[in-house]
Homo-oligomer: A and B are copies of this chain.
Amino acid sequence: MKVVIVGGVAGGMSAATRLRRLDETAEIIVLEQGPYVSFANCGLPYYLSGEIQDRADLIVQTPAKLKQRFNIDVRVNQRVTAVVPDQHQLSVQVAGQTVTESYDKLILAPGAVPVVPDLPGLATAPNVSVLRNIPDLDRLMAKLSTTGARTVTLVGGGFISLEMAEALRRRGLAVTVVEQATHVLPPLDEEMAADIQHTLTQQGVRVITGQAVASVRDNGRTLVLADETQVQTDQIVLAVGVRPATDFLATSGIHLGLRGGIEVDETYQTSAPDVYAVGDAIVVRNQVSGHPALISLASPANRQGRQVADNLIGLPHHNRGSVGTAIVRVFDTAAAMTGLNEAALQAQQLPYKAVHYRGSDHADYFPGAQSLLLKLLFNPQSGELYGAQAVGHGVDKRIDVLATAIKGHLTVADLPELELSYAPPFGSAKDPVNLVGEMAQNIMDGLSDNRQWHELKAAEVAGRQLLDVRNPTELAAGRFPMAINIPLDQLRDRLSELDPQQPYIVSCQSGHRSYVAERILKQHGFDVVNLDGGFALYQTVRPDEVLDD
């Protein structure tokens, strides 16, 4: 069996080495268009920042080592330009020549390429970079040092963009991030991204949101935004996302779907016989929504590479879809998410509720506790877990637990049951994951109901009186304009000050004390809901709408 694999990074190389472990006799050829295989894609920003100091650390494997250990024929700088499934053949560009390669089985793992927006003036600007591979990195670093650039503008504000923003700040550059969505990190919801945006600003990154770039002028030295703001810059870095690198399949007849992604069945087979595909280039099923999705992440790519090899030798390990877990460090904080976000749930008109926990990453009484904000999205009828987001410290652990719960089809009722490792340096007797589970369970049990920060105004317009149950000292440091105040610990004694005919929405700092107030009021017959996330969350996302006198 002669197996040709197109692409030698995550999915392709996982397929190649797994296939060798399963089959000593197969002829395995890997065609990689770049000069490196199996490089540390996710490490590139950290070499740019100087945290990874040795460029060799980015190169995990070499063709020679792969030949020696796995008897794999790795050919770099070979660009596949066409696939002809009927003839089981590929066209390959090698050193300017086009040659033909045959295969018995073909695995396509071409990955994704950065999206280059079609903006006037962009194509001719000499100072435009992307960062997807080591040559990109080398070019960008050479350009930064030879041109003496002092300002860099990142177009796009997603995960990779923010990693680069940090890296470039660490190199002492002035950095601007332009994101056309309402907030950076669009996979997160707005209130979760707000903390990250605050961190960026504190670290000297200029953040412009809600603004698309309209054109590029002055040979790339000026970006003109939709509102005609002009951003001066020495260097432009495009980080507006990636798309499947499938242009070479245009003539192949292989079915392409969402944004040019390769359509595959659960054994990774494409529409063409003997042609399989894995990694960033394939259309997967989002496990939560059931919808087609493109997920450009290392973890699914590696898994798919392994599984396609399994399928080639008849081991039935099928693609069960993806939940899309991702994380990004942003200076001294981090953001992570898994599953669907609130925006996606709204777009798909799925019934959902959200709960937020704000607290510490480990026991408060143990030194070094740091802030953690965790959001859970769930179906309030079935208890299905839709997704989770976290910002701050200890976010990887909580999102990993919730990603495991979602992948395993656990429900809201399972989260309070989870026994997570607890000693004061590591967590709390009730982990934040347990707590969001309890909060969600309270909603499902009808004990509590909440409104989100973006629903507060509508609730007030609809006639709900906002009741803040914090203490006067807390109010002095920041408060809602329209709220009345009764501190929680006085509530039982001051119930007569409230109108039983008046619907209320209660708030405190984080949403926890107001839940206690909600329970007291509910049992006294009041129509009351809780402002989820409390004043702190609202203030983070809408600082201009609160008073801090």
Contacts and interface: CB of A to CB of B under 8 A. Distances in A.
Contact of A421 (B306, B400, B524): B400
A523 B489 contact: no
B22 A424 contact: no
Contacts of A407: 414, 417-419
Contacts of A403: 418-421
Given A397-B396, A426-B329, A69 B488 contact: yes
A325 B365 contact: no
A429 B42 contact: yes
Closest 9 CB pairs of A and B: A327-B421, A298-B429, A325-B419, A57-B365, A24-B523, A397-B397, A408-B408, A396-B426, A21-B519
A322 B52 contact: no
Contacts of A163: 423
Contact of A424 (B42, B71, B397, B523): B42
Contacts of A324: 419
A516 B69 contact: yes
| Chain A interface bracket (under 10, 10 to 19, 20 to 34, 35 or more) | 35 or more
Interface of A: 10, 21-25, 40, 42-43, 46, 51-52, 57-58, 60, 68-71, 159, 163, 297-303, 306, 315, 317, 320, 322-329, 334, 336, 338, 363, 365-367, 395-397, 399-401, 403-405, 407-410, 413-414, 416-427, 429-431, 434, 438, 441, 445, 447, 488-489, 492, 515-516, 519-520, 523-524
Given A163-B423, A397-B400, 10 more contacts: A24-B520, A25-B523, A69-B489, A317-B413, A323-B419, A324-B419, A327-B426, A400-B400, A400-B418, A408-B410
A280 to B, nearest CB: 13
Contact of A404 (B58, B303, B404): B404
Contacts of A22: 447, 519
A39 to B, nearest CB: 10
B524 A422 contact: no
A299 B430 contact: yes
A515 B22 CA distance: 12
A403 B51 CA distance: 33
A40 B329 contact: no
